[in-house]
Amino acid sequence: MKIGILNADTVELPGASEFGQYPEMFAKIFWAINPTIQFEKYEVQFDQYPKEIKDCDAYLITGSKASAYDEENWIYKLKEFIQTLHQNKTKLIGICFGHQIIAEALGGSVKNSSKGWHVGVDSISLFKQEFNFNYKDSVFNLIFSHQDEVIKLPENAKLIAGSTICPNAMFVIDDHILCTQGHIELHKDFARLIYDFRKNQIGDAKYTSACETLIDETDELAVVKILLEFLKK
């Protein structure tokens, strides 16, 4: 399987060089489950795209410091590419910003959350009646780091996981699009660097609480297994 990573950001955090850029982070976590997967990186933030959709078996959109509703040319172009992938029923995964911009591109809506930043390790409930997770537990514990949120899903999307603070945490569209707000690629030490960098934006109390949760166990490997099963269908 060959996955095209549509990279939507550049990591420039002080002290973060050891973690690499987002495409490297995603490759590492996927290889932990299946080391035979191939990856191709496309810097969509700089208008770099595959020559043909069929150049990859599936695509994944990364997180970003940008917002899905930003009036930037590269944002508009990425939304058009998402619409093309959807029309062709090409397999597509969205993580954090990727989750949000896919929702926006296909008729949903994203806004800055009235609840403020959602940071730290948090649980989302799985709606197993809506999707076959093939997973024994009823929640995923994942790292979160976002202020924007999906407030309206695309018309043909199915909500498959959520929580009070993140109601639209995971959704699917037919059998070719799966999106999640929670991160699967972030090392906890890297997440801590993000929280340190944004401490003034996040607020002291929420920052402290988020850092304390980083000792909790997380389920990113279980999510990766589910994503891979979804891509193979």
Q: Are 57 and 89 in contact (CB under 8 A)?
A: no
Q: Are 114 and 148 in contact (CB under 8 A)?
A: no
Question: Which helix (H) or strand (E) is 98 found in, with range?
Answer: helix 97-105
- pLDDT given at position 64: 98
Q: What is the pLDDT of residues 79-131, one digit of tens each?
A: 999 999 999 999 999 999 999 999 999 999 999 999 999 999 999 999 999 99
| Rounded percentage of the chain residues whose pLDDT exceeds 70 | 100
**Domain of 16, in residue numbers:** 2-232
Residue 23: which CATH number? 3.40.50.880
Total domain count, the chain: 1
Mean model confidence pLDDT for the chain? 97
| Across 200-225, average pLDDT | 97
CA separation (Å) from 103 to 168, 204, 217? 10, 31, 29
| Across 22-45, average pLDDT | 98
**DSSP code at position 91:** E
Q: What is the pLDDT of residues 127-177, one digit of tens each?
A: 999 999 999 999 999 999 999 999 999 999 999 999 999 999 999 999 999
